[in-house]
C-alpha cells in the first residue's frame, strides 16, 4: 500500500518537473527548434501578408502596397455571383462522393490484402497497387480520356459488343463526369492510401490474434474486434485531413478531364479561380476566394476534430 502511495507521489512530482523551465536542459532544445520555426515563418506566415490584396484593387504595376483599398467589394462580388455558388456546389458534391466512396476503399483493400497468406503475392499486389500514385495526373488523365473515348476507347467497344448501343462520349456528358472524377481519383490514390493501413496492421500484436483464436473467434470476429480497433487511430487522422480539404479539389485532375460541355457539374473552385485569376488577371478577386476557402476549410477541420474527440474519444489535437 505504501509503495503505491510513494510511486504516486513520485509520478506527480515528475509531472511537475516536466512543466518547469530548466535553463540548462531547455535552451539547447529551443535553439534546435529555431531553424524549423524560421522556415515556417518565412514560407508560411510572411506570405500571408499578401492576403491584403483581397481587400484591394490589385494591379501588378502599383504593387501590393500601392494599390488602392476596396474594402470588402471583392468578397461582395463573388458572394453575389451565381457562378461562384455553382462551383462551390460542385466542389462540395464531388468531395462528398470522394469521401463516401474513396475513403473506405483503401481500408477494404488493406483488409482484403491482409487476408492473403502468402507474403510474396501480398508484396507483389501491394507494389502494383500503388503504381498509379506515382504517375502524374497528365498521364492518368490521358489514360482515362483514351479508354473512354468514343473513337476506339475500350469501354465503348465493350458496351457496343455487349449491349449493341452507339458509342457514348463519356467526358462530354454531365451525368457521367462526376463518377469519372471519383473513379479516376480512387484508381490513382487507393494504393497509397492503403499503405498507411497496411503499415498499421503490421504493428498489431500477433498474440492478440492467437488469444482470440483460442477463445474461438473466427476470421470475421478477429477482424471486427482486433483489426478494426487497431486501425481506428490512423483512420481518424486521415478522415480529419480529408474533411479539411472539403472545399478544395486538386486542380490538375479536374482541369485535365473537364471541358466547357460539363462546366455545369465539373467546374470546381480551383478551376474557376484559375480561369478568373490567370486568364482574366483578376488577382484580388481570386485571392478573396482563396481566403474564404481557407477559412471554410479551417472551420471544417476544427469541427471534425471536435466531433472526433466526442465520438471516438480521440482527436488530432
Partner 1 sequence: MQKSKGERVFSVFNGIFLLFIICTVVFPLAHILSISLSEKQAIINQTVGLLPKGIRFDAYKYIFLKPAFLTSLANTVGLTAAYVFTFWFALWQHMRFQKISMENGWLPIFLLLLCTFQGV
Q: Which of residues 210-249 bind partner 1 (CB under 8 A)?
A: 218-219, 233-234, 237-238, 241
Specify the residue, 83 or 146, whose C-beta has the smaller distance to partner 1: 146
The C-alpha cell at 145 is: 480520356
| 115 part of the interface to partner 1, by CB under 8 A | yes
Q: At what angle do helices 174-201 and 104-114 cross, to 10 degrees?
A: 50
Specify the residue, 63 or 152, whose C-beta has the smaller distance to partner 1: 152
Q: Taking phi first (over 0 means left), then psi (-120 to 50 degrees means alpha), and beta for anything else, what does residue 71 get?
A: left
Q: In sequence order, what are the residues at sequence separation of 6 or more whose Cβ sits closer than 8 angstroms to the Cβ of residue 95?
A: 245, 246, 247, 248, 249
Judged by CB under 8 A, the stretch of 56-64, 95-103, 107-115, 309-317 that binds partner 1 is 107-115
CB of 291 to partner 1, least distance (A): 20
The mark string for 176-215 relative to partner 1 (x by CB under 8 A, - otherwise) is: -----------x---xx--xxx-xx-xx------------
| 26 part of the interface to partner 1, by CB under 8 A | no
CB of 187 to partner 1, least distance (A): 7
Q: At what angle do helices 104-114 and 228-244 cross, to 10 degrees?
A: 150
Judged by CB under 8 A, the stretch of 20-28, 52-60, 61-69, 124-132 that binds partner 1 is 124-132
Specify the residue, 116 or 212, whose C-beta has the smaller distance to partner 1: 116
Q: At what angle do helices 228-244 and 283-311 cross, to 10 degrees?
A: 160
Specify the residue, 13 or 219, whose C-beta has the smaller distance to partner 1: 219
**Contact predicate 129/191, CB 8 Å:** yes
CB of 19 to partner 1, least distance (A): 17
Specify the residue, 61 or 317, whose C-beta has the smaller distance to partner 1: 317
Specify the residue, 199 or 261, whose C-beta has the smaller distance to partner 1: 199
The mark string for 127-166 relative to partner 1 (x by CB under 8 A, - otherwise) is: -xx-xx--x---x--xx--xx----x--------------
Specify the residue, 164 or 206, whose C-beta has the smaller distance to partner 1: 206
Judged by CB under 8 A, the stretch of 88-96, 126-134, 173-181, 256-264 that binds partner 1 is 126-134
| 112 part of the interface to partner 1, by CB under 8 A | yes
CB of 69 to partner 1, least distance (A): 33
Summarize as ranges the residues that interact with partner 1 (CB under 8 A).
109, 112-113, 115-116, 125, 128-129, 131-132, 135, 139, 142-143, 146-147, 152, 187, 191-192, 195-197, 199-200, 202-203, 218-219, 233-234, 237-238, 241
Amino acid at each position: 500500500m505504501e509503495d503505491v502511495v510513494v510511486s504516486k507521489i513520485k509520478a506527480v512530482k515528475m509531472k511537475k518537473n516536466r512543466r518547469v523551465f530548466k535553463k540548462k536542459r531547455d535552451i539547447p532544445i529551443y535553439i534546435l527548434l529555431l531553424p524549423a520555426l524560421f522556415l515556417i515563418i518565412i514560407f508560411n506566415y510572411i506570405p500571408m501578408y499578401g492576403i491584403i490584396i483581397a481587400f484591394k484593387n490589385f494591379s501588378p504595376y502599383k504593387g501590393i502596397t500601392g494599390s488602392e483599398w476596396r474594402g470588402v467589394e471583392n468578397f461582395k462580388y463573388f458572394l453575389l455571383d451565381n457562378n461562384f455558388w455553382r462551383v462551390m456546389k460542385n466542389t462540395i458534391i464531388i468531395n462528398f462522393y470522394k469521401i463516401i466512396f474513396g475513403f473506405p476503399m483503401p481500408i477494404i483493400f488493406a483488409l482484403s490484402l491482409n487476408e492473403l497468406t502468402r507474403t510474396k503475392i501480398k508484396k507483389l499486389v501491394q507494389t502494383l497497387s500503388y503504381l498509379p500514385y506515382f504517375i502524374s495526373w497528365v498521364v492518368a488523365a490521358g489514360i482515362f480520356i483514351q479508354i473512354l473515348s468514343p473513337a476506339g476507347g475500350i469501354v465503348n467497344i465493350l458496351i457496343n459488343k455487349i449491349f449493341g448501343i452507339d458509342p457514348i462520349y463519356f467526358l462530354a456528358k454531365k451525368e457521367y463526369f462526376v463518377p469519372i472524377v471519383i473513379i479516376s481519383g480512387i484508381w490513382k490514390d487507393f494504393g497509397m492510401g492503403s499503405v498507411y493501413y497496411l503499415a498499421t496492421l503490421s504493428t498489431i500484436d500477433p498474440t492478440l490474434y492467437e488469444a482470440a483464436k483460442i477463445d474461438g473467434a473466427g476470421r470475421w470476429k478477429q477482424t471486427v474486434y482486433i483489426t478494426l480497433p487497431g486501425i481506428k487511430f490512423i483512420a481518424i487522422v486521415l478522415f480529419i485531413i480529408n474533411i479539411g480539404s472539403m472545399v478544395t479539389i486538386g486542380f490538375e485532375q479536374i482541369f485535365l478531364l473537364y471541358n466547357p460541355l460539363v462546366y455545369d457539374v465539373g467546374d470546381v473552385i480551383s478551376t474557376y479561380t484559375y480561369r478568373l485569376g490567370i486568364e482574366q488577371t483578376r488577382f484580388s478577386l481570386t485571392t478573396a476566394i482563396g481566403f474564404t476557402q481557407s477559412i471554410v476549410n479551417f472551420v471544417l477541420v476544427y469541427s471534425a476534430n471536435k466531433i472526433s474527440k466526442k465520438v471516438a474519444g480521440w482527436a488530432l489535437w
